[in-house]
Amino acid sequence: MAFIVVYDACVLYPSTLRDLLIRIAQAGLVQAKWTDRILDEVFRNLQANRPELDPTKLARTRELMMRAVRDCLVKDYEPLEAVLELPDADDRHVLAAAVKSRAQLIVTNNLKDFPQETLTAWNVEAVSADDFVLAQIDLDRQRVFAAVQQIADSWRKPPGAASDVLDGLSETAS
């Protein structure tokens, strides 16, 4: 069984990073999980910050995400929220989803909102997207770079190269 990870909204927001994280799951390196609430946050923020994006295309992206990763949706995690303590109460749903799905990791760029001393009690660790991707490269360099190449091959306007994908990832980290 693959390592179980919950992707937080902040790592699903940037399109290139989202694409890579989904392809890492499709390659079988991890079992990716998220909730409708996490996706609601992603697409609400995309719509607010990028009003030029077509809402129909955003809805299609969400639908494709759900189809792309088998068994990705965590349900019935809400009762756990009441017993969880985090610096930002609005993040309890992410930890609840991790606990419910028995995830070992939460991939987030908001590490301060997921203190390790709190997560340890639930056998969960929070890691940044950069550290997560680097760990996946250490585990299976060929499959991760194949995913990067697939992303580059999917870019048409303008065409992309693997280096363009990697540059795009570094831009989302800054």
Task: State the pTM of this model.
Answer: 0.90
pLDDT for the residue 164 = 66
Segment 113-166, tens digit of pLDDT: 999 999 999 999 999 999 999 999 999 999 998 988 888 888 777 667 666 666
CA distance 143 to 139: 9
| 98-117 average pLDDT score | 96
The pLDDT, as a whole number, for residue 153 is 81
pLDDT at res. 53 = 92
Tens-place pLDDT, residues 7-51: 999 999 998 899 999 999 999 999 999 999 999 999 999 999 999
Q: Which residue has the higher pLDDT, 167 or 12?
A: 12
Whether the predicted pLDDT of 99 surpasses 60: yes
pLDDT band at 174 (very low <50, low <70, confident <90, very high): very low
Is pLDDT of 173 > 60? no
